[in-house]
Each structure stands twice: as structure tokens, then as C-alpha cells.
Amino acid sequence: MRIPSLIICLLFSFIPTLAQQCQLNLDGTWKDDSSTKTLYRFDAGKTLSVIAGDNTGPLATARYALEESQSRQITLTSTKGGPILGNGKDPVTIKSFDDTSITFLTADSNVIRWTRVDPNRYFITLVARNGEFYDSSGSAFPILTRISSLETVTDAVGTYSDVGTSAFGRVPAKTYIDFMHEPRSDSGVMLRLEINGAQYERALRVLQIWDRRVKENALLYQYQVPLNNIILIKAVTETLNACTDAVKLYKLNYIHPEDWISDNYSPQFIPFVYFSELKKLNGARHVRDEEFEHLYNPSAAMVDK
């Protein structure tokens, strides 16, 4: 690297990366770790409600305002019942938070931890195959699944086989359904992980952006299409760890010699090797077909978007 390039890199080195940051999202239902029956619900209308476990209606409500200056603080104004958090007068500080929990520090120094309550289950399945296309590379895409009591929603975007030729974009249902089972040979790889709602939403956002890029002819790489899939799978997997190191990741950063995958493989093979490496690192958390099949209803999920 020439000296001017080095200076430029150093001067710009404080530019924040475009990776997604952990964002506080209060909306939804929470339960206090110290109490089993009471639930708390933040809604978008800036109301916090206390709900009894039997769903008989709110026991107390308060309007809330979130201040995000130096420290995150919530100011609550009771509208029904007594104070919900702290003494009801002083603001409550958010000490820490991640995708599934939030810890408050009240004015009288009490530490309260809430955990998110989510009736849905979420999965990410990373699948890839070799030997499908003329250059012996193959399909590689992440599949996101949200399973609720009412419906199963599946999204998949990436490189897939369209009658033997490589295609990039939203994967048709009839194609991804074929990838929902563990491969029986070394030419396929699959890692299925159970994730939380926030991780699902972030990963889904990445897939939606790439789906939009395909539809609007706005791919980042117009001619080197496999490079788009590399950026997609890198963003999807890295977004899982935006709040906590939930998944053991391989650093696909193109830095020699740390990133041996990009050093040794052509772009079209990188997703397969990357998913294989993630499978090695996270094999213990892999959700096997037997566990997944009783949750997943393929016919309900086979909906093309």
C-alpha cells in the first residue's frame, strides 16, 4: 500500500462501519424476572401497561417518554393505578439492554431486570450446495422462518438454481423447501439456529433490502453477481451478533491471512465454505430435522412473495 493510501485509511479510520448497531426496542411484552405472573407491555402509542397473567385487562397504565441523551432514561406518568417502575416520579435509567432483556436502575438504586416475552419461534437456516452449476458451484442462501400458532412465514434470498443456471434474488418456495432437510452428502451444508425476534427482524431487513436491490436493478455488483451473495450472507450472519455474541462467527473480512476462505476460494464458492465453517463453529446449537419438523408445516410455509 502506498503512503498516500495509508494516510487516507488512517484519516478515515474513524468512519463508523455500516454494520447494524444494537438498537433499543421497547415495544412488546416483557416480564419481570423476579415475578412470574405480571407482564408489562410497551406499545407504540407511548403507553406502558401492566397486565395480569390471566389477561383480564391492564392493572395499571402510564405514559412514557424515552430520553436518549447521555444516558437512556424513561420518564413515566401514571394514568391508571399506582407507579409501575420506581417511585413514579423520578426517571428510570436503562442500565443495559440486549435483544431479549433490559435492566433498569431506579432512582432509589433498585436494579430491575425484564425479559422479553415472545410467543413466536424464529429460525435461521444457512444452506449451500456444490456441483449444481457449470463451474461446480451451487446454491447458497439463508432461510428465515417465523413460526407462530397461526402461521409459518418463510423468507429466502440468495443464489439458487433456476433450471440448472445460477440465479440471484428471492428464492422460490418450491426451491427452498428442498433445502429444509439436512443434506446427506458432503456436497451440501446446512446450519439451522434458533434465534430471537430482534435477530429475526434484523436479518429479515437485510433480505428485504437485497430483494429490493434485485427488483429495482440496484445490485451493488452488476457483473460480478456472486459478490452480491457474499455481502448478503456476511450482513445476515453478522447482524445476528449486533447486540450480543450469540453466534460464533468466522471473520469474512478479506484480511490476509486471518480470512483464509477469501484467500483460497473464488467468490462463487465462498458462501459454501463460509457456511461449512459456521457449521463447525456452531454445530452444538444446530437444530436437527427431528426437532424442527414437528414445528414446521411445509405446506403452510410454501408461499411465494
* Residue nearer to other proteins on the CB measure, 24 or 209: 209
Beta bridge partners of 149: none
* Residue nearer to other proteins on the CB measure, 22 or 287: 22
| Among 127, 189, 204, 230, interactor with other proteins by CB under 8 A | 230
Per-residue string for binding with other proteins, 156-195, x by CB under 8 A? ----------------------------------------
Name the residue among 247, 259, 123, 140 with its Cα closest to residue 188.
140
* Residue nearer to other proteins on the CB measure, 213 or 279: 213
CB 118 within 8 A of CB 175: no
Burial class (CB in 10 A: 0-12, 13-18, 19+), 93: middle
Q: Tell me which residues in 260-289 interact with other proteins (CB under 8 A).
A: 262
Beta bridge partners of 102: 97, 114
| Among 70, 109, 222, 299, interactor with other proteins by CB under 8 A | 222
Report in angstroms how near the CB of residue 265 gets to other proteins at its nearest.
13
Report in angstroms how near the CB of residue 220 gets to other proteins at its nearest.
4
Grid cell in block for residue 195:
434465534
* Residue nearer to other proteins on the CB measure, 63 or 212: 212
- Which stretch, 141-149, 168-176, 227-235, 273-281, contacts other proteins (CB under 8 A)? 227-235
Report in angstroms how near the CB of residue 9 gets to other proteins at its nearest.
6
Give the pairing of strands 101-105 and 152-162. Answer: unpaired
Grid cell in block for residue 149:
400458532
- Classify 211 as helix, strand or coil: helix
- Which stretch, 51-59, 153-161, 163-171, 225-233, contacts other proteins (CB under 8 A)? 225-233
| Alpha-carbon distances, residue 15 vs 12, 126, 154, 168, 231 (angstroms) | 6, 30, 35, 31, 19
- Which stretch, 61-69, 155-163, 221-229, 292-300, contacts other proteins (CB under 8 A)? 221-229
The span from the CA of 226 to the CA of 219, in Å, is 11
Burial class (CB in 10 A: 0-12, 13-18, 19+), 112: middle
Q: Tell me which residues in 1-60 interact with other proteins (CB under 8 A).
A: 4-5, 7-9, 11-15, 18
Report in angstroms how near the CB of residue 47 gets to other proteins at its nearest.
28
Report in angstroms how near the CB of residue 229 gets to other proteins at its nearest.
10
Q: List, in order, residues 6 or more apart from 81 with CB less than 8 Å away.
A: 50, 58, 59, 60, 61
Determine if 212 is a binding residue for other proteins (CB under 8 A): yes
| Residues of the shown chain interacting with other proteins in the complex, contacts defined by CB under 8 A | 4-5, 7-9, 11-15, 18, 209, 212-213, 217-218, 220-222, 224, 227, 230-231, 234, 253-255, 262
